[in-house]
Chain A
Amino acid sequence: MGAPRAKRVGGAEPGAERRLTMFKKVLIANRGEIALRINRACHELGVATVAIFSEADRNSLHVRYADEAFCVGPGPVVRSYLNVPNIISAALISGCDAIHPGYGFLAENARFAEIAADHGLTFIGPKPGVIAAMGDKATARRIMREAGVPTTPGSDIVASVDEARGIADGIGYPILLKATAGGGGKGMREVHRPEDLATAFATAQAEAEASFKDGRMYVEKLIVNPRHIEVQVLADEHGGVVHLGERDCSVQKPSHQKLIEEAPAPDFDPALRDRLHDIATTATRAVGYSNAGTLEFLVSGEQIYFMEMNTRIQVEHPVTELVYGVDLVKEQVRIAAGEPLGFSQDDMHPHGHAIEVRVNAEDPDHNFAPAAGTLTTVVFPGGPGIRVDTHVYGGALVPPFYDSMLAKIVAVGRTRESAILRMERALGETRIEGVKTTVEFCREVLADPEFRAGGIGVGWLPAYLTRRAQPV
Chain B
Amino acid sequence: MTDDVIATRARALAGALTESGFARLRIRDGETEIELRRSVRGAVAVAPAAGEAPANGAPAPAERRADVVASDVVGVVRFLRPPVTEGQELDTDRELAYVETLGIRNPVRSRGTGRIAAVLVNDGQPVEYGQPLFTVER
Residues of A in contact with B (beta carbons under 8 Å apart): 55-56, 58-59, 70-75, 80, 85-90, 92-94, 119
Residues of B in contact with A (beta carbons under 8 Å apart): 18-19, 21, 42, 73-76, 101-102, 104, 126, 128-131
CA distance A88 to B73 in the complex (A): 11
CA distance A201 to B130 in the complex (A): 45
A119 surroundings in chain B (CB, below 8 A):
102
Say whether, besides A55-B19, A90-B74, A93-B75, A85 and B102 are in contact (CB < 8 Å): yes
Say whether, besides A55-B21, A86-B73, A89-B73, A72 and B126 are in contact (CB < 8 Å): no
B101 surroundings in chain A (CB, below 8 A):
85-86, 89
A75 surroundings in chain B (CB, below 8 A):
21
Q: Which single residue of chain B is at the shortest CB-CB distance from A69?
A: B128
B102 surroundings in chain A (CB, below 8 A):
85, 88-89, 92, 119
Chain B nearest CB from A12 CB (Å) reads 38
CA distance A94 to B21 in the complex (A): 26
CA distance A76 to B50 in the complex (A): 34
Q: Which one of B21, B76, B126, B128 has the greatest number of beta carbons of chain A within 10 Å?
A: B128
Q: Are B128 and A72 in contact (CB under 8 A)?
A: yes
Say whether, besides A55-B21, A56-B21, A89-B101, A71 and B73 are in contact (CB < 8 Å): no
B76 surroundings in chain A (CB, below 8 A):
93
A88 surroundings in chain B (CB, below 8 A):
102
A92 surroundings in chain B (CB, below 8 A):
102
Q: Are B19 and A72 in contact (CB under 8 A)?
A: no
B19 surroundings in chain A (CB, below 8 A):
55, 58-59
Q: Are A94 and B126 in contact (CB under 8 A)?
A: yes
Say whether, besides A85-B101, A89-B101, A94-B126, A70 and B74 are in contact (CB < 8 Å): yes
Q: Are B21 and A90 in contact (CB under 8 A)?
A: no
Q: Are B129 and A72 in contact (CB under 8 A)?
A: yes
CA distance A86 to B73 in the complex (A): 6
Q: Which one of A71, A74, A85, A90 has the greatest number of beta carbons of chain B within 10 Å?
A: A71
Say whether, besides A85-B102, A93-B76, A119-B102, A71 and B21 are in contact (CB < 8 Å): no
Chain B nearest CB from A44 CB (Å) reads 27
Chain B nearest CB from A13 CB (Å) reads 37
Q: Are B74 and A89 in contact (CB under 8 A)?
A: yes
- Interchain CB contact (< 8 A) of A73 among B75, B104, B129, B131: B129
